[in-house]
Structure 1
Amino acid sequence: MNYIDDLDLISAPFDGCWGFRAFSSSSHSQSRVVSFRGDGADEARALLESRFTPASFVWMRTGHTAQSQLIRKGDPAQVADGYVTDQPGLLFALTSADCLPIVVCDPYERNTALIHAGWKGLVHGVIENSLDVLEGLGTGLGRCHVWMGPSIGQADYEVGGEVAEAIRSTTGFFSAALAPSPSGKWLLDLAGIGRAKLEERGMRASNISICGESTYTSNRLHSARRDKDASGRMVTVAGFTA
């Protein structure tokens, strides 16, 4: 069965950063969004990689950790939620549904970081750890370009008191990052905290682009919270092709 007809470009805000979904329109009156996991996943990944030939691909192995890994061609991909490279021609691919994908590109040194930021990663420092690796490669954070891809929006992301307390303890926290919900819980702003952490490390607000589209409410995007086990995944690709 042919699952994938094409790839839909969600966004390409600057050189070195792309967000995709896969879809199929065969035998359907409307495009059918499919996943980068389960049925059709291998086909979707192969089609995506073919778009960037002859670049090499590393698919991230995430685990809601604070770990960041420096990867060069031929290195095995370990479980980590921040991947960093200083090699053009090596691209990272991250599948996500509600968590926040963050791309950091240094157009001068040609270094790249791709970060998977859920609330646990934000609390434990996955952004800071990834930026530390970038700085160790000679990157000046003030000259980087950043894209935050689609994630669950604050109005849709209700969390309990234990998560709220953990978030309050993190660097980059600001009061509007948690808003009270009618149920007595809290509404969490993943992208807002991500941006605050980046700016705290010296990144320019004018260099940070935020997708701003909530995965939970957008019919064209996947959401694990909304669709449960039936949820698919988007893909963020980061790196310099040459």
Structure 2
Amino acid sequence: MNVEVNRARLLDGVAHGFLGRRGGVSTGAMAGLNVGLGSEDDPVAVAENRRRAADAVLPGARLATAYQIHSAEAVTILAPYDDAQRPHADALVTNRPGLLLGILTADCAPVLLADREAGVIGAAHAGWKGAIGGVTDAAIAAMEALGARAGRIVAAVGPCIARASYEVDAAFLRRFAQEDPANERFFGDGRDGRYQFDLEAYVAHRLADAGVGRVETLGLDTYADEERFYSYRRATHRSEPDYGRQISLIGIAPSS
């Protein structure tokens, strides 16, 4: 099976892709394109999956990922590095051709950003902690430091857990409402006094509120679509010992 690459209309012309689990060599509970270096998967399979993922988006590029910590930290990448040197961060930006920025997710929202005119790109991992903490704001600021302008940036929010699948408690809602009472609009009533949180819509709101010119959401639910995506919450609900991670990629093709 070929690697499945989901693309955003707003990023046409930019090397990018939101990948899932189709097209990899991992087997068992993490069958497919698991790219998680921290998973208990066979390291040889993970390395092959990462190679396949990169080749499906920008062949020949050097893959740069982060040691993700659910933070609002953004790092500017100016040169390739080994996986052992991954920075502790949740957003990466660059203006260097031949680099492929990668964000790993398994329900959190992957965000890919580009200012075509400035030749600057970014990728952010927006779980709820990073999202409310401002990881997308940090990514935009780091891109602007390289010459991008928020109004020229286009962004896409890829596969993540959808509102219908994301049940949270009242304390979770209060955390967001205390940040901004208007955030309550991202919560719907659930069962037994609980709520359903729309992470995708909240991340899109944060991008727009930061001045990003245009934002696209792909509307793909990682929890509900087991055939196509890995999901931390699904694995947790099943008491599985580990879970796979998918990758979202964006890069600048070298000049010919």
TM-score range, shorter chain: 0.7 to 0.9
What's the counterpart of residue 233 of structure 1? 245
Structure with bigger strand share is 1
The answer on 1:94 being equivalent to 2:103 is yes
Partner of 1:209: helix, strand, or coil?
strand
**Pick aligned residue for 1:114 from 114, 118, 123:** 123
Paired residues for 1:38-77 under 5 Å: 38-39=41-42, 40-51=45-56, 52-74=58-80, 76-77=85-86
- Closer, same or farther in 2 for the Cα pair 1:173/1:96, shift >3 Å? farther
Q: Matched residues in 1 for 2:245 and 2:88: separation?
A: 18
Residue 196 of structure 1 is matched in structure 2 by 205
Residues in 2 aligned to 1:172 and 1:125: alpha-carbon distance in whole angstroms: 17
The structure where helix makes up a greater share of residues is 2
Question: 1:129 — aligned with what?
Answer: 138
Structure 1 unaligned regions, length at least 5: none
Say if 2:109 and 2:199, in contact at 8 Å, map to a contact too.
yes
Provide the alpha-carbon RMSD of the alignment.
2.3
Residues 24 and 175 of structure 1, relative CA distance in 2, 3 Å threshold: closer
Q: Structure 1, residues 108-139: CA drift from partner, whole Å, max 9, x if none?
A: 11111100001111121111111111112221
Mean Cα deviation higher: 154-163 or 113-122: 154-163
Q: Deviations over 1:52-99 (max 9, x none)?
A: 333221122211011111111146431101111121221111221100
Structure 2 counterpart of 1:10, from 6, 12, 15: 6
Q: 2:176 is matched with which residue?
A: 167
Partner of residue 218 from structure 1, selected from 212, 225, 230:
225
Within 2, Cα distance between the matches of 1:65 and 1:22? 25
1:55 and 1:196, CA in 2 relative to 1: closer, same or farther beyond 3 A? same
Is contact 1:216-1:223 (8 Å) kept? yes
CA distance in 2, matches of 1:45, 1:157: 28
Q: TM-score scaled to structure 2, two decimals?
A: 0.82
> Is this contact kept in 2: 1:105–1:111, CA < 8 A?
yes
| Rounded Cα–Cα distance in structure 2 between residues aligned with 1:86 and 1:173 | 35
Partner of 1:21: 20
1:9 aligned partner, one-letter code: V
Residue identity (%): 24
- Give the secondary structure class of the aligned counterpart of 1:193: helix
Query: TM-score, normalization: structure 1?
Result: 0.87
TM superposition shift of 1:142: 1.2
- 1:78 corresponds to which residue? 87
Figure out how many residues of one structure are paired with residues of the other and give that number. Answer: 232
> Which is further off, 170-179 or 117-126?
170-179
| Residue 108 to residue 166, structure 1, CA distance change in 2 (3 Å) | same
